[in-house]
Structure 1
Amino acid sequence: MSGLHAQDYERMLDLVMAVLEHDDPDSLSHLIAGHLQDALGCDTVIFAGIRLTGRVGYAQGWAPVSLGPGVSDVIQRRVEQRHPLITYMEAAHSSPVSITSICDGWRNSSWYSEARRDYGTTHQLGVPLPGAPDEMRAISLGRRGDFTDHELAFITRVQPLLVRADRHVRELHRLRGAAAAGAAASPAALSPALAVPGHDLTPRELTVLGLLAEGLTAAGIGRRLTISPHTVNRHLEKVYRKLGTNNRVSTVLVAKRAGIVP
């Protein structure tokens, strides 16, 4: 694979900062898609998932505007058609892969014809996002023209960031759902959690705080977010400082009284 350049690492850093500073899980995938389109010259970026129970496919996609709800129907067809990327992931492969390297006769396949007809793309690059329970998740990048070795090296280096961002988005969705349920059960509580102004906590710190309030240890939070316990503790130190606390119990109590967590 080709070596990476300084500009590649600048793009990676831009992506990391964009994810950590963005607190809206509903639009974060679109934000990531925009960064990938800029970095790789993609025509489409599709975040796809398959729920293993029932093998139900779902997706969000941009080109660069939303591809709409119909993209989920496309993914469901790919599940039923046994798309090569799905077979690749079922075999426990997790590295980014060009579709032409795992599908003989790609240009003669129905998948190629559909992608070219619907989106104008002729090549695909799959980026598995392992770690979701009871699901297979991946990002599918599409464009006219194959992906180079240098671009494959770039996305391989970026993949761990994408996996963590995907997990971050899912945790934000889950915590917001829990916060909404808590606010509904307690009308006197401030709501919604994770959107209370005036506390200066970053989205990542809010996620760590939400998991702390659920009783997880630093090691447990680290496993959930695929970061080290040391990194978790650094986030917690910042949370303590911003909330004016010095231990986990008082931090959770203050956060609950402020409506930051349910």
Structure 2
Amino acid sequence: MTALPGGDAKRIHDLAMEIITEKEPVRVWPLLMERLTADLPCDLAVLIDLDWAAGTGHALTGSPDWLHEAPLDALIHSHMRSHPLLRHYARTRDSTPLTMDEVADDRWWKSEAYCAGKEAIGIDRQLALPLDSRPGRIRGVIMSRTRQGFTDRDLEYAQLARSLLNTVEAHESAAFARPIPADPSEYTITPREIAVLTLLSKGLTAHAIGTRLGIKEGTVTKHKENLYRKLGVHDRVAAIRKAQHLGLALPPEPLRGVELPRNSPR
């Protein structure tokens, strides 16, 4: 590994060792977001997964913790197609970490999308770290800091980090495979909660899940809270990965009015 100014190679090595020795797999991605914000440094880092063709997507996890309460999915759904970095990766399938300053023109800094992000989460200068993904999808990490732009050193670090994150994804895909599905009732998870979790895994918002299942948005939020508590997690990506790790089989597609056992909670 190339030695970089400021010990970046050692930071990546230490992070890799921390991931390998992490005893709770669901902690890996939150740990990565925490370390990215500290090592660059930057104000925030968000892992996103987008279906560009459908115009949908969601934030999986991020750092700092207050981002879990921010309207990230709403920002993505409203403005993803006007985001210069996301538009670049969708059009080119480029896998190089890039900054907003490299791809945006003056119109971006005056746009509705920029102003909405600035007001909601304080975005300013951004650096994108694209991960391997299927055609038609964009998966990666968006990092942001205020006022000060990203340097060549930051881009070198991001390139090293990208390789590590892709390796983590490949490892998790293999590690979380479990041939025998578990019984959700072992974890007191109800059929309705499994239906909500299935739609969460497809990137639907609470409003969309409520529409699909024919229940109120507030009820969906309550089901999410119960799921997170029962699985011992704090966000969507951790819940999905924990369910996979436990071997909880998710049905292909819960439908509106999904049939539930009598007296199952809605």
TM-score category, normalised to shorter length:
0.5 to 0.7
Of 118, 122, 125, the match for 2:124: 122
Q: 1:167 to 1:4 in 2, by over 3 A?
A: same
Aligned to 2:164: 161
DSSP 3-state at the match of 1:68? helix
In the alignment, structure 1 residue 137 sits paired with structure 2 residue 121: no
Aligned to 1:223: none
Aligned to 2:223: none
Contact 1:98 / 1:124 at 8 angstroms: preserved in 2? yes
Aligned to 1:92: 93
What is the CA distance between 1:132 and its match in structure 2? 4.3
Aligned to 1:12: 12
Contact 2:75 / 2:116 at 8 angstroms: preserved in 1? no
TM norm structure 1: 0.61
Letter in 1 for 2:98: V
CA distance in 2: counterparts of 1:170 and 1:78, whole angstroms: 30
What is the CA distance between 1:66 and its match in structure 2? 4.4
DSSP 3-state at the match of 1:41? coil
CA distance in 2: counterparts of 1:171 and 1:76, whole angstroms: 30
In the alignment, structure 1 residue 72 sits paired with structure 2 residue 73: yes
Letter in 2 for 1:77: S
Residue correspondences, number: 182
Contact 1:60 / 1:68 at 8 angstroms: preserved in 2? no
CA distance in 2: counterparts of 1:74 and 1:103, whole angstroms: 18
CA distance in 2: counterparts of 1:167 and 1:52, whole angstroms: 22
Larger mean CA deviation between 127-136 and 87-96 belongs to: 127-136
Larger mean CA deviation between 131-140 and 27-36 belongs to: 131-140
**1:158-215 Cα deviation digits (max 9, x unpaired):** 2111111233344445x25x54x1x449x9xxxxxxxxxxxxxxxxxxxxxxxxxxxx
CA distance in 1: counterparts of 2:51 and 2:175, whole angstroms: 19
The root-mean-square deviation of aligned C-alpha atoms, in Å, is 2.9
Larger mean CA deviation between 70-79 and 94-103 belongs to: 70-79
Q: 1:171 to 1:25 in 2, by over 3 A?
A: farther
TM norm structure 2: 0.60
CA distance in 1: counterparts of 2:173 and 2:82, whole angstroms: 26
Contact 1:61 / 1:71 at 8 angstroms: preserved in 2? no
What is the CA distance between 1:50 and its match in structure 2? 1.1
Contact 2:11 / 2:39 at 8 angstroms: preserved in 1? yes
Letter in 2 for 1:150: R
Q: Of the two, which has the highest radius of gyration?
A: 1
Aligned to 1:244: none
Contact 1:56 / 1:76 at 8 angstroms: preserved in 2? yes
What is the CA distance between 1:52 and its match in structure 2? 5.0
What is the CA distance between 1:21 and its match in structure 2? 1.9
CA distance in 2: counterparts of 1:26 and 1:136, whole angstroms: 22
Aligned to 2:104: 103
CA distance in 2: counterparts of 1:149 and 1:135, whole angstroms: 27
In the TM superposition, 1:210-225 aligns within 5 A as none
CA distance in 1: counterparts of 2:19 and 2:153, whole angstroms: 24
CA distance in 1: counterparts of 2:5 and 2:110, whole angstroms: 35
Q: 1:20 to 1:139 in 2, by over 3 A?
A: same
CA distance in 1: counterparts of 2:133 and 2:158, whole angstroms: 18
What is the CA distance between 1:6 and its match in structure 2? 5.6
DSSP 3-state at the match of 1:54? coil
User: Could you tell me the percent identity over the aligned residues?
Assistant: 24
Contact 1:8 / 1:154 at 8 angstroms: preserved in 2? yes
Larger mean CA deviation between 39-48 and 152-161 belongs to: 152-161
What is the CA distance between 1:133 and its match in structure 2? 6.6
CA distance in 2: counterparts of 1:137 and 1:120, whole angstroms: 22
What is the CA distance between 1:121 and its match in structure 2? 2.7
* Unmatched 5+ stretches in structure 1: 188-258
Q: 1:52 to 1:108 in 2, by over 3 A?
A: closer
**1:209-232 Cα deviation digits (max 9, x unpaired):** xxxxxxxxxxxxxxxxxxxxxxxx
DSSP 3-state at the match of 1:67? helix
